[in-house]
Chain A
Amino acid sequence: MPLLQIENLRKSFRTSSTLGGSGARLVAVNDVSFTLEQGETLGLVGESGCGKSTTGKLIMQLQKADQGRVLFNDTDLTTLSARQMRPFRRQIQMIFQDPFSSLNPRMTVSSILSEPLIIHKLVPARQIRDRVIELLEKVGLTAEHEQRYSHEFSGGQRQRIGIARALAVEPQLIIADEPVSALDLSVQAQILNLLQELQQQHNLSYLFIAHDLAVIEHVSDRIAVMYLGNIVELTDAETLYKNPRHPYTEALLNAVPVADPDHPRPAPLSGEIPSPVNPPSGCYFHPRCPYADQLCREHSPPLTDSGDKHLVACHHSEQVGQYLIRRR
């Protein structure tokens, strides 16, 4: 039994009206299903605005899904009352994409980190301060920072406080939404090594959202690629990089800037960015896809297993790879 199983999640929002027009519905997450095993890391990548953070918040029950189920250890979280949900709030932690808004500005770092320890009675009162300092040191900060407020830190330091807070309660599942996006390479490596160590010690599971494809490749066992509210490809990390089967994945891999001044600048994806209010007909990616034909304009391809548990939603998946720039 997987630790987490998501079935057909959907979430839409009422949009702002246009001038003189009326509001409509924006589908942020269309129909998303996946599983996550204990001790596994599932990477989640996709275009900005495609629904990654919303998916994370739906799992956490911070937003109510329009439809679908979230099974955690076989309990459907979408059916629980706030009180029934409380124990799960410790087992599932989220590292938020925006640390600035997710840390209480009126609390010192030491109270931010000790609060969950007290609420969940995780350590005896005498040991709280030691545990707080231990957490700070784990993320590369020191006791010197303990009495500061969150606005008195740099962006990357704030991000690390968010990580320390999630680790404080020793959860089973961490939904990490761009957890290292503000960190330089060496501190980033320290944090990723820490997350990996904790995973080995405690059999932790991660849903790891990031746009940095080198980071995603390093941490993930499997990777899901999202485009405009849907998963378009899902397979193990190695296969995805060597043998992408969806044209959006191929475009993503080609757009990674290389840390070498002699290398050409990466090209953006051509074509108009689609609107989640009025998505294109057929396959949502067809207006930007070099492989698209009539079939793609008319019919939306379902996510299917193309062999070896390599899931892909593309009518022409066997052709994909022609444009891939091989760098290794």
Chain B
Amino acid sequence: MPPRLVVENLRSYFFTRSGLVKAVDDVSFTINSGETLALVGESGCGKSMTALSLLRLLPEPGRVVGGEIRLDDRDLLHLPDLEMRRIRGNQISMIFQEPMTSLNPVLQIGEQIAEVLRLHKGSTSPQALEQAADLLTQVGISDPGRRLRDYPHQLSGGQRQRVMIAIALACDPKLLIADEPTTALDVTIQAQIMDLLQKLKEERQMTTLLITHDLGVVASNADRLAVMYAGQIVETGSVVQLFENPLHPYTQGLLNCIPRPGHKGLLPTIPGQLPSLREHHDGCLFIDRCDAPSPPCGHEQMQLKEHKPGHWVRCWRY
């Protein structure tokens, strides 16, 4: 079966007052139907902008400048706006990283969930509110009848995040893009939400792009993993392949940062920081932080290369 989602050589740039910012600069991956691909990478490396590009919701002054995005063989970047709008919310939905960017502060949350149900499932109003209450229960919000009438500011951070999850699931998406969906949740509620996503995956073949920095969540929920650095995918493979045999020095460094219980004192880090996304770089973007750069690293960009079946890496060592 062909993959459900194919992303090829995606590039998304910001044309700002003070110059170009290359937020996404050559991202390729595929996700099969019913599969969960986790996307991890350093803060600011372009994960959210990749996700927003898929939905064609990149904020101004950002633009997709190259590449291809195909959902079930439909070319999303060249669909008419109207059709894209129909796909958003009907087939693809997104859990945004920051709930307040997507919740309407002056609408009761019941209305916000019911609106999706009416639009995409044709539910009548009373039906929609009942279904909305049921969704709230599924995401672990108590007293749903009363909560439907709350405004976003009356909710805790984690409750807001769960309302957004309820909205994203309301339309029964084929593809769910979940951008840090559990950052505001304690671990027991997080486990409940991840179980819910797992159930949708098993029962309805839901396909998921899961952006998260929590490697525990990755290990227990994802099938495959893509690691991003400075706008590029630097390594991808099955979760087991990457955890057991990380190849790229960034992936190695990241796994080395997993905290060990009982450890006191300073935590391990990857010294240095992301390179500027403004300047043009000839060579490897990780070179300044790499412990063993070799001669070609400074002047030539490496492409993703298949090292073992299904395990791809962008590094001259391999």
Assess the A189–B269 pair: CB atoms within 8 A.
Answer: yes
A278 contacts B by Cβ under 8 Å: yes
B57 contacts A by Cβ under 8 Å: no
A221-272 residues at the B interface, CB under 8 angstroms? 238, 241, 251-252, 255-261, 263-269, 272
Assess the B254–A185 pair: CB atoms within 8 A.
Answer: yes
Residue of A whose beta carbon sits closest to that of B214: A257
Given A48-B158, A100-B98, verify A19-B145 contact (CB < 8 Å).
Answer: yes
Q: How far is the CA of A192 from the CA of B191 in the complex (A)?
A: 25
A214 contacts B by Cβ under 8 Å: yes
Residue of B whose beta carbon sits closest to that of A52: B156
Assess the A196–B266 pair: CB atoms within 8 A.
Answer: yes
Assess the B270–A260 pair: CB atoms within 8 A.
Answer: no
Assess the A257–B184 pair: CB atoms within 8 A.
Answer: no
B268-311 residues at the A interface, CB under 8 angstroms? 268-270, 273, 276, 278
Assess the B146–A18 pair: CB atoms within 8 A.
Answer: yes
Contact partner of B269 (CB less than 8 A), chosen from A18, A147, A153, A190, is A190
Residues of B within 8 A of A178 (CB): 157, 183-184
Number of interface residues of B (CB under 8 A): 79
Residues of A within 8 A of B157 (CB): 48, 53, 97-98, 177-178
Segment at the interface with A among B25-33, B41-49, B69-77, B113-121? B41-49
B222-263 residues at the A interface, CB under 8 angstroms? 239-240, 243, 253-255, 257-259, 261-263
Contact partner of B276 (CB less than 8 A), chosen from A99, A144, A260, A267, is A144
Assess the A266–B254 pair: CB atoms within 8 A.
Answer: no
B9 contacts A by Cβ under 8 Å: no
Residue of B whose beta carbon sits closest to that of A273: B142
How many A-B contacts are there with CB distance less than 8 Å? 223
Given A157-B43, A190-B269, A193-B269, verify A261-B59 contact (CB < 8 Å).
Answer: no
Residue of A whose beta carbon sits closest to that of B216: A257
A290 contacts B by Cβ under 8 Å: no
Assess the A140–B187 pair: CB atoms within 8 A.
Answer: no
Q: How far is the CA of A199 from the CA of B159 in the complex (A)?
A: 32
B107-161 residues at the A interface, CB under 8 angstroms? 108, 140-143, 145-147, 149-151, 154-159
Residues of A within 8 A of B240 (CB): 261
A87-122 residues at the B interface, CB under 8 angstroms? 97-101
Residue of A whose beta carbon sits closest to that of B23: A154
Q: How far is the CB of B33 from chain A (nearest CB, A)?
A: 21
A257-308 residues at the B interface, CB under 8 angstroms? 257-261, 263-269, 272-278
B189 contacts A by Cβ under 8 Å: yes
Interface-centre pick from A101, A177, A183 (highest chain B CB count, 10 A): A101
Assess the B220–A265 pair: CB atoms within 8 A.
Answer: yes
Q: How far is the CB of B82 from chain A (nearest CB, A)?
A: 27
Q: How far is the CB of B40 from chain A (nearest CB, A)?
A: 7
Segment at the interface with B among A9-17, A30-38, A78-86, A164-172? A9-17
Contact with B along A121-144 (1 / 0, CB 8 A): 000000000000000000010101
Residue of B whose beta carbon sits closest to that of A100: B98
Assess the B213–A185 pair: CB atoms within 8 A.
Answer: yes
Assess the B187–A266 pair: CB atoms within 8 A.
Answer: yes
A321 contacts B by Cβ under 8 Å: no
Assess the A213–B187 pair: CB atoms within 8 A.
Answer: yes
Q: How far is the CA of A50 from the CA of B237 in the complex (A)?
A: 39
A43 contacts B by Cβ under 8 Å: no
B195 contacts A by Cβ under 8 Å: yes
Residues of B within 8 A of A24 (CB): 146
Q: What are 16 pairs between A and B in contact, CB < 8 Å?
A: A15-B154, A24-B146, A53-B157, A140-B43, A153-B44, A178-B157, A184-B213, A217-B259, A255-B190, A257-B187, A258-B220, A259-B243, A261-B220, A268-B191, A269-B188, A273-B140
